[in-house]
């Protein structure tokens, strides 16, 4: 829908948007996410996720399409997707980044609640890209990574349908909001992992930032995301092997940005994905 038809949400006009033509995520689905709890709370999601959805096609393997960007070239998370890291030079850069991470044991989950990281998906977690643009974080992420976007009539925010090249499985997903769990927004470092590694002592504002930071968020295949739950890399990696080094880099980028330690097994696993 032409943007000239929109007369509300004036704050969005002040911001350069990452959107392409096309598609919104329903506000009603967002409300359901909040009410149902969990990290993002849709039925079937485990702890740290929420979503959009649809049917999938294709088989596992490297992500198709060419729009995805290597995490090494996307340090703020505003560019789409998670492209595989292939060259030896890139893997050496990846290992250098991961090697800087501090390790410690994972603390207790006692006291963790999704709400301590703010409601999903708030547009007011100021200090991270895309915040304060008049569109909730989930729709921002769907628009960032989706293609063939279609938005709800009268809106340039709420995504109704799209296609997604899922980095975790290598499948191309066809999504629409009537099947809101087939695509979920994954916290690369799950919120409960953040909590156990130090976020329990953070300010509320910092917890809201990590929960809504595009660097820490990827729209992905729902079942793959549900299988991850709140696991670190030693316990869960994307089914698509070509993207595992890129996933490890993104995990490291978030940990580094928020001064988070990772467990020693997680660090070893991350290095191994990049040839270490």
pLDDT, tens digit (0-9, with 9 covering 90-100), for 189-232: 999 999 999 999 999 999 999 999 999 999 999 999 999 999 99
0.95 exceeded by pTM: no
Return the bridge partners of 150, or none: 161
**C-alpha–C-alpha distance, residues 168 and 275, integer Å:** 19
Among 238, 253, 267, 240, smallest CA distance to 78 is for 253
Confidence band, pLDDT 50/70/90 cuts, at residue 66: low
Q: What is the pLDDT at residue 60?
A: 38
> 223 burial class (0-12, 13-18, 19+ CB within 10 angstroms)?
middle
| Size (the chain), residues | 276
Residue 52, number of CB atoms within 10 A of its CB: 33
- Could you tell me the strand order of the sheet in which 159-165 lies? 54-57, 172-176, 159-165, 147-151
Mean pLDDT check: name the lowest of 12-26, 63-77, 186-200.
12-26
DSSP H stretches of helix in the chain: 27-36, 88-99, 137-145, 191-196, 204-212, 222-228, 244-257, 264-273
């Amino acid at each position: 829908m032409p943007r000239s038809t929109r007369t509300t949400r004036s704050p969005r006009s002040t911001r350069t948007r990452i959107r392409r033509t096309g598609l919104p995520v329903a506000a009603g689905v967002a409300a359901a996410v909040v009410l149902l709890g969990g990290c993002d709370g849709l039925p079937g999601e485990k702890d740290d996720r929420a979503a959009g959805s649809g049917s999938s096609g294709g088989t596992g393997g490297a992500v198709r399409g060419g729009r995805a960007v290597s995490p090494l070239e996307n340090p703020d998370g505003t560019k789409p997707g998670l492209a595989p890291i292939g060259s030896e030079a890139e893997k050496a850069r990846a290992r250098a980044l991961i090697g800087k991470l501090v390790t410690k044991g994972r603390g207790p989950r006692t006291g963790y609640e999704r709400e301590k990281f703010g409601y999903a998906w708030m547009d007011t977690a100021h200090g991270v890209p895309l915040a304060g643009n008049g569109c909730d974080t989930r729709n921002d992420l769907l628009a960032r990574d989706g293609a063939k976007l279609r938005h709800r009539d009268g809106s340039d925010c709420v995504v109704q349908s799209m296609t997604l090249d899922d980095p975790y499985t290598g499948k191309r997903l066809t999504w629409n909001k009537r099947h809101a769990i087939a695509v979920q927004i994954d916290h690369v470092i799950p919120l409960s992992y953040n909590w156990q590694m130090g976020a329990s002592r953070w300010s509320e504002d910092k917890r809201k930032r990590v929960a809504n930071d595009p660097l820490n968020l990827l729209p992905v295949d729902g079942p793959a995301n549900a299988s991850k739950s709140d696991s670190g890399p030693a316990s869960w990696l994307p089914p698509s092997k070509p993207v595992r080094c890129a996933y490890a880099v993104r995990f490291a980028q978030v940990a580094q940005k928020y001064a988070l330690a990772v467990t020693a097994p997680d660090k070893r696993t991350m290095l191994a994905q990049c040839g270490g």
